[in-house]
Each structure stands twice: as structure tokens, then as C-alpha cells.
């Protein structure tokens, strides 16, 4: 449904004044930022909100303090309208430690979770999955809070736009999607890139209200938002609002191209300047005098000059601020050890970890494709929906990018989501949400917020699922600062590490090798326990050679060690258990004892995780090596379907034995 809002309805003088003051503060901030950019004080770039002030002012006037907003690269106005301090914003633009993000975020990432500002975002469309997650968190927490996603017209052509609207509509989440249609990308008109005449028309596909408003009329924006907010609080689900507006300048302060917009079009929109229109309304409806306008102007200018001085006089962040902002501290845990006669399979151990943590902490919930009634294709979540209900065990649409992003947003908003990727190769569809959002969120916000998210699922080969369902991709994630990567090799480790991952304050990529699902049972204590992240396990002590094996290669390395023991060869097998953080000292201590190292993983050798371990050992224990470090993994080929060829790709016990013999 597409509706056109009327601006004939009036509001009180106090609301008119608040809208006007907010708009004036935004305008002054943007004009001063442009001056400081030309001066070289604001570096990099910034995206001016000048000309669009009525949207941020009208939207945030309709919100409560506890409502959440998520923004995009043109986000200064949203922050100011939601209550951010201009002096701390200015300090952030100058890269100073007193800025909202300690100078680590800059213009595109200003945020403050204490004000429920989830932050501006440099990735087009990213605010939508994050706000959807915040809306899900509000629903699960039993509050009537609302989440707002701001985005530009170009983002409506992103897949996450459609996925987020669909997910929010299916779950009736309290999310309001606000498209600020300023009609141009960097230089291309949206009419040349968008199939519909109005973005709001797309709401019909999801059977939610779609409304186009005059984005240069702060009162109209406010009134329409107020209705959408009431609808969301009442549990009636999301609304898509398209605010038609026009930016006064180019895409960003750094862009120095010919302005492609026609002069008559530009002049027409300048004549509809939102601040001038609000001044006319204040005069006619609010009884505002010239003296009051002058007082407002003076107050805004004085506030801005104080903010600029504050920023200029603030210190730059020291290096330790940067280094300490990547990860939240990991909790200390005492693991009991696997000494028990109770035996569980790998999937059963994972299931028990989820069950016990969901019982212990009602913030924990599970979502993913087919995790509910069927328990997932490998049965890891079997029975959990019956015990905890469809609210906490949620079957999702097939839209990996958005339900992972929804998990990120829910984690930021106070929940502890466990998101299952049905087959881990599909994680490629989620890379923006994992790498640009989950991994960087804490850092971009100056090391203050937490993202307690677990993304788990089956990876690797061995069951003839061919090239797109059999990859081992751990090296992708160990390369990214901000992510924790766990890869348990036994039922005991699977339970304890998953519990630790759920309790951790960082995003954890939790890798479950398919071959382990099909392996035998192992000892698992019934008690609830957690294994410290970053602590390796010496699975077998030895003196002649060290084998560092990961995931499904650990049982094969242990079998190889048993074979070699018959020939008097003593093999020490180390399972890192977590690949990031890596327990370097346990590996180095072993190499200093045995003087030889073989690294075994299922993934490709070239660019694999083993290369990082090898480099670390050569760098820190070179003098102890009696032979070059050896690596064993898959050849540089995708996984074949043919069963004999698949066996050739995945390292076997026999190949591990041969590699150890070659080292000796």
C-alpha cells in the first residue's frame, strides 16, 4: 500500500520549536564540518546531511529514549536528533580520544549505545538487518521498544532490504524502515537504477504499510512516524516509510566531480529548503518572533564553537586504545576433564550445551534454517523447540545475510543469539555481516559495546556433498580481527567450547566438521562446564615429533600416533581447539621438546591456517627445529563428488603416518 501523508494536520508550538532547533543544530554542524574538512582538521571524508534535516528531526521526535536507531554513512543528523552531544561528535570527526568512539570510528561510525544509537555504517544497507535484530531483541525481552533503520534510496536495491522487510514482516517485529530518498547515489539518479517509481511501493510485496512522505516537511515526517511507532508498539509489525528529499551538496565532502544534477532541479529543491519551511511554519503556527529566531541562532552557534574548541583541544588516542578495543576479555573457566563413563555423540554433546545454556540464561536463543521441529539436518537442535518454544528456537527464511545480521543486532541489543548456518559454505553469503559488522562493531565504537554472538554449523567434506557443500573455511575467519574461531574435535570439547562461546562477549565462529558428526561417541560430563577459549589440549604426549591437528584431523592424528608407536616413534598430538585466540605457548613448548612439527588440517594447504602456525613457530622457535616445518592438507582443488577422489583430497591416517616418517 502506498499512501501520501497530509501536512495539513498541525502540532503544538513546543513540538514545532523542538523540531526546528534540532534541524538548526544539524545544519550548523554540517556547515562547520565542511569548513573543517577544507581546513584539513576533519580528514578522510564525511557525508553531509545538509538539506535532509527534517527527516532525522521528525523521526527522532517521535521516539522514546529507549528506542534504537541504526544509521548509514550520512548519519550525523540522526545522531544529533537522537540526543548525541555535538562536542563529542566533533571530537570523533577530528579523530580524538574524547570522541564517542575514541577516534577509532570517525564520521561514518559515530554511535553511542547508552543513547541507543547503534551507529552510522559505511556499508550500504547494513542498518536494516541490524535494526531488525534490535527489534527481535525487543520482542524477546518483552518490551515495547521500537527500532528504526535509516537508509538511502540506493540501499533499497540491496538484497538485505528485501530480506529484512520479509523477516520483520514474518515475525511482526517492531521495526520502522526509513528510506531517505535524496534521489541520487554518488552521481546516478535512482530513477535510472530502481524499477519502481517509489521505494514505498515495495512494501506491498511484504503486506506491510508503505508510505511516501515529504521529507522536507518535519511535521509531516513526525506525524507519519508517530503512527508507525504506535503500530509497532502495539505488535502490528514493521512499516516502510520513504521520505522524499534532496541533499544540498555532493555525495561526500571528498567527492570533487561535476555535479550531475540539473540546475533547474537543484534550484527547485533549494526553494523547498526544510529549515526555511519550518521557519515559516513557526511564524504562522507557533507564534515565533524574530527575537526567538535570533536567540536560537546564537545558541546554536555558541554550542558549535564550544564543540570545535573541545575537539581541537582533545588528545589523540594512544596506540593501546586501538589494540585494546578489538576484543572483549575472555572469561576464565575451569574445565572438569573428560573423565567419565557417560558417552555422547558429537551432535548430542552440542545439543546438551545448547539445552543447558538456554535453561540457564533466557537471553540465549537459537535461529537458522530448519532448526525447529526437525532439529536441523544433523539433529543438533533436536527437541529444543519443544522445550523452549518457537520464540527461542526460530526457523528463519532462507536469507543467510539477514538472519546473521539480525543475530548481530540482537546481540548488540542485549541477547545471546546462536545462529546456525545449515551448511557452512553458505557463510559466504554472510561475510559483510560477520566481517564488517560483528567483527568490527566493538572496535568502531571505541572498545565499549559487546557482540555476544555465536555463528555455528557444519563444514568440511567426507560425505560426498561436492564442491559447494564441503569446504573448510577457517582461514577466512582467523584472518579477521574481532572474530573468535573455535573448532572442537571431540564431543567433550564440543560441549565445553560451545558453552564458552555462548558466554563470551565477542562474536564466535564455531566450526563443526561433518566427519565428527559421524564419528563415535566420547566421554562427556553431564554437568554444565565451559572450556577456556584460547587453551590448547595435548591429546597425546610424545617426544619425537609434534603434530598440531585441527578438528576432524585430530582423531586421525591420534590413530597415526598409535600406528607409529609400534615402531618406537613417539608422537605428541596437540589440538588448538580455538584457532583464534591461538594457544601459541603450548605449541612452542612442544616444538622445543620434540624439535619437529607437522600441521594437519582438512582445508587447502595454500593460504591455510597451518601456514600461520608454521610462520609463528619459525619466528619464535626456529633454533629448536631439526627439520623444516611440514604441512598436510587438501590439494589446491575444490572438493570432488567422486568418493575415491574425495578420499584423496582429505588427509588420511596413512598420509599423516607417511608425513611424520618423512619428517624423521
Coil, helix or strand at residue 418: strand
Q: Please, what is the end-to-end C-alpha distance for the chain in angstroms?
A: 74
Between the alpha carbon of residue 193 and those of residues 72, 185, 295, 439, 586, the distances in Å are 20, 10, 44, 31, 55
d(CA 186, CA 182): 11
Q: Which of 352, 400, 505, 602 is catalytic?
A: 400
Cell representation of residue 558: 591420534
d(CA 391, CA 138): 12
Which residue carries 526509513 as its cell?
Answer: 178
Per the rule left: phi > 0, alpha: psi between -120 and 50, beta: everything else, 382 is beta
Contact 129, 469 (CB under 8 A): no
- The C-alpha cell 532490504 sits at 161
Q: Catalytic residue among 163, 469, 601, 646, which?
A: 469
Locus of grid cell 573455511: 473
574 with 541: CB under 8 angstroms? Answer: no
The pairing of strands 545-549 and 454-459 is: unpaired
Neighbours of 431 (CB within 10 A): 16
Which triple of cell numbers denotes residue 460?
568440511
What is the side-by-side strand order in the sheet with 630-634? 537-540, 571-575, 545-549, 597-604, 630-634
Nearest to 274 by CA among 4, 2, 7, 35: 7
469 assigned to active site? yes
CA within 13 Å, CB half, 477: 31
DSSP for 487-540, please give it. Answer: ---SHHHHHHHHHHHHH-SS-EEEEEEHHHHTS--EE--SS---PPTT--EEEE
H helix count then E strand count, the chain? 24, 20
What is the spatial distance between Cα 33 and Cα 39, in angstroms, rounded to a whole number? 10
Letter string b/e over residues 493-532, b meaning 16 or more CB atoms within 10 A of that residue's CB: bbbbbbbbbbbbbbbbbbbbbbbbbebeebbbbeeebbbb
Residues designated as active site = 400, 469
Amino acid at each position: 500500500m502506498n499512501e501520501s501523508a497530509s501536512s495539513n494536520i498541525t502540532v503544538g508550538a513546543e513540538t514545532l520549536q523542538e523540531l526546528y532547533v534540532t534541524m538548526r543544530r544539524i545544519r550548523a554542524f554540517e556547515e562547520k564540518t565542511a569548513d573543517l574538512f577544507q581546513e584539513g582538521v576533519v580528514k578522510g571524508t564525511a557525508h553531509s546531511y545538509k538539506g535532509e534535516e527534517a527527516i532525522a528531526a521528525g523521526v527522532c521526535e517521535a521516539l522514546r529514549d529507549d528506542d534504537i536507531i541504526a544509521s548509514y554513512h550520512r548519519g550525523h543528523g540522526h545522531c544529533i536528533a537522537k540526543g548525541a552531544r555535538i562536542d563529542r561528535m566533533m571530537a570523533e570527526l577530528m579523530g580524538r580520544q574524547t570522541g564517542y568512539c575514541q577516534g577509532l570510528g570517525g564520521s561514518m561510525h559515530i554511535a553511542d549505545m547508552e543513547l541507543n544509537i547503534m551507529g552510522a555504517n559505511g556499508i550500504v544497507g547494513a542498518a536494516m538487518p541490524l535494526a531488525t535484530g534490535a527489534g527481535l531483541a525487543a520482542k524477546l525481552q518483552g518490551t515495547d521498544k521500537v527500532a528504526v533503520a535509516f537508509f538511502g534510496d540506493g540501499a533499497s536495491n540491496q538484497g538485505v532490504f528485501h530480506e529484512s522487510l520479509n523477516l520483520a514482516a514474518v515475525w511482526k517485529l517492531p521495526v520502522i524502515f526509513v528510506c531517505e530518498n535524496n534521489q541520487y547515489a554518488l552521481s546516478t539518479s535512482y530513477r535510472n537504477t530502481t524499477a519502481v517509481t517509489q521505494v514505498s511501493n515495495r512494501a506491498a510485496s511484504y503486506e506491510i504499510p508503505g508510505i511516501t512522505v515529504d521529507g522536507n516537511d518535519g511535521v509531516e515526517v513526525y506525524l507519519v512516524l508517530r503512527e508507525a511507532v504506535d503500530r509497532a508498539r502495539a505488535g502490528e509489525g514493521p512499516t516502510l516509510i520513504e521520505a522524499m528529499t534532496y541533499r544540498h551538496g555532493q555525495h561526500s565532502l571528498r567527492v570533487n566531480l561535476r555535479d550531475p544534477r540539473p540546475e533547474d532541479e537543484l534550484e527547485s529543491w533549494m526553494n523547498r529548503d526544510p529549515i526555511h519551511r519550518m521557519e515559516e511554519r513557526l511564524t504562522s503556527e507557533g507564534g515565533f518572533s524574530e527575537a526567538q529566531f535570533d536567540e536560537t541562532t546564537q545558541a546554536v552557534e555558541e554550542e558549535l564553537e564550544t564543540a570545535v574548541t573541545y575537539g581541537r583541544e582533545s588528545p589523540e588516542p594512544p596506540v593501546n586504545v586501538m589494540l585494546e578495543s578489538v576484543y572483549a576479555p575472555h572469561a576464565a573457566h575451569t574445565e572438569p576433564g573428560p573423565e567419565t563413563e557417560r558417552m555422547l555423540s558429537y551432535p548430542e554433546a552440542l545439543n546438551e550445551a545448547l539445552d543447558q545454556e538456554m535453561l540457564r540464561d533466557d537471553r540465549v536463543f537459537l535461529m537458522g534454517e530448519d532448526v525447529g521441529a526437525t532439529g536441523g539436518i544433523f539433529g543438533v537442535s533436536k527437541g529444543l523447540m519443544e522445550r523452549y518454544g518457537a520464540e527461542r528456537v526460530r526457523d528463519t527464511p532462507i536469507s543467510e545475510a539477514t538472519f546473521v545480521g539480525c543475530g548481530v543486532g540482537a546481540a548488540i541489543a542485549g541477547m545471546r543469539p546462536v545462529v546456525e548456518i545449515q551448511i557452512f559454505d553458505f557463510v559466504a553469503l554472510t561475510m559483510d555481516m560477520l566481517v564488517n559488522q560483528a567483527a568490527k562493531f566493538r572496535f568502531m565504537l571505541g572498545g565499549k559495546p559487546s557482540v555476544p554472538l555465536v555463528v555455528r554449523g557444519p563444514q568440511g567434506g567426507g560425505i560426498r556433498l561436492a564442491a559447494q557443500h564441503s569446504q573448510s573455511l577457517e582461514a577466512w575467519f582467523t584472518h579477521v580481527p574481532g572474530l573468535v574461531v573455535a573448532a572442537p574435535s571431540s564431543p567433550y570439547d564440543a560441549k565445553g567450547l560451545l558453552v564458552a562461546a555462548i558466554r563470551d562477549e565477542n562474536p564466535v565462529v564455531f566450526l563443526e566438521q561433518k566427519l565428527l558428526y559421524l564419528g563415535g561417541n566420547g566421554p562427556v560430563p553431564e554437568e554444565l562446564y565451559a572450556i577456556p577459549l584460547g587453551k590448547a589440549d595435548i591429546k597425546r604426549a610424545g617426544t619425537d615429533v609434534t603434530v598440531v591437528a585441527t578438528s576432524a584431523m585430530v582423531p586421525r592424528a591420534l590413530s597415526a600416533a598409535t600406528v607409529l608407536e609400534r615402531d618406537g616413534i613417539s608422537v605428541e598430538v596437540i589440538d588448538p581447539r580455538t584457532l583464534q585466540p591461538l594457544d601459541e605457548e603450548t605449541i612452542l613448548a612442544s616444538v622445543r621438546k620434540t624439535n619437529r612439527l607437522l600441521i594437519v588440517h582438512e582445508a587447502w594447504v595454500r593460504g591455510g591456517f597451518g601456514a600461520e602456525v608454521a610462520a609463528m613457530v619459525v619466528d619464535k622457535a626456529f633454533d629448536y627445529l631439526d627439520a623444516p616445518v611440514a604441512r598436510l592438507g587438501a590439494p589446491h582443488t575444490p572438493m570432488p563428488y567422486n568418493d575415491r577422489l574425495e578420499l584423496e583430497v582429505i588427509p588420511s591416517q596413512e598420509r599423516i603416518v607417511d608425513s611424520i616418517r618423512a619428517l624423521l
